[in-house]
Amino acid sequence: MKKIFTNKFIKRHLIVVGVFIVYFLILHLLGWSCPIKDIFDIPCPTCGTTRSLISLMLLDFKGYLFYQPAGVSVLICLLLFVNSDYLIKKIRPIYFYSFLYLNIAFIVIVYIVRMINQTIYF
């Protein structure tokens, strides 16, 4: 049985975590919460994802749906992107890309509905 957690696998995930930490530190130092919101004055499609995932971890499903109903899809897309080379070797590419594009489509649909209804809270 082949090891899944190789040095390359762990190194890649540590780099991604490091990039996110640096990103959030820079945003905090600039006093920004979201660059898209602060520069263009419109919320981004992933606005509220962090708060929604924290609500989901606390089993607050109402809060999860309030902040970002597509929060899990955003997380899935991130994980698929980071692990794409490994996953494409293990499953057929058509399944990988279909799942990825369905998640992206769901995120975009939720974003459009929330923009029309003006229910994005940032």
Burial of 122 (0-12, 13-18, 19+ CB in 10 A): middle
Q: What is the pTM of this model?
A: 0.74
Which uninterrupted H or E stretch holds 106? helix 93-117
Of the candidates 50, 64, 60, 66, the residue with the CA atom closest to the CA atom of residue 119: 66
Output the tens digit of pLDDT for each of the chain's 122 residues.
Answer: 466 667 887 888 889 889 989 988 998 898 887 888 888 888 888 888 888 999 999 999 999 998 889 999 988 988 888 888 888 888 888 888 899 899 999 999 999 998 888 876 65
pLDDT for the residue numbered 31: 86
Q: Residue ranges of the domains in the chain?
A: 1-31, 43-117
